[in-house]
Structure 1
């Protein structure tokens, strides 16, 4: 078993013992999503820590999007619960890059892409290809794309 998955299961056990309903239900749902990924496809397999991290990232993003949808629908209580679940999941994710750190990484990638002959807005794909491995798990794709577009336009 991967260390991250084991930590999630240990934390779930602690949450159940402490009768922390929010934490235990969030961790149960997350472990269920991990189990689903492990059995998806033709062969079942054990996920690596990186793959577990991707599932966690996806689950945290779902919580943020659901909170926004509940806010728009006027369901503040449901939105607040989704945000609280997101905070619990964020504790297991790597520290997110600040806007300045992200801008700096993207600027370096733009320079690399220009040195390789990519120019203007068409260089977006080349820049994203350079940036993505550097920020994996530490910045959401939409934030990265926005930063790349800004630097290529300006």
Structure 2
């Protein structure tokens, strides 16, 4: 009976070690400049849709757009953290906090329309602040791209 217990114990230990080793081999997900560019190209229309929905008083659509915008923006933190741009990470966290606050306002049974405007202004200010440093606009097309010299 004793050899069976010992063998099972050794098998469990070997399995635990192999799981730990394979977990270390799992690569950290890379969020490249191309990923950032693609995210920004879909985030922009979502924020524009958020603004339009708020202007129209369509709070349900605005809430959906705010949630989606938050999801898209949150993943970009990985890019900035990998490039050791703490200022960009802070800008994103500030905008995420504003989007969370906006989501809270839009979740209320009665939306405080007066409270929405300052949050939207802060969100826009945060986006513009990041774009001023880390994005550059193509004069011909108006499209934004990553400002490589800022990295």
TM-score (norm 1): 0.34
TM-score, scaled to structure 2: 0.34
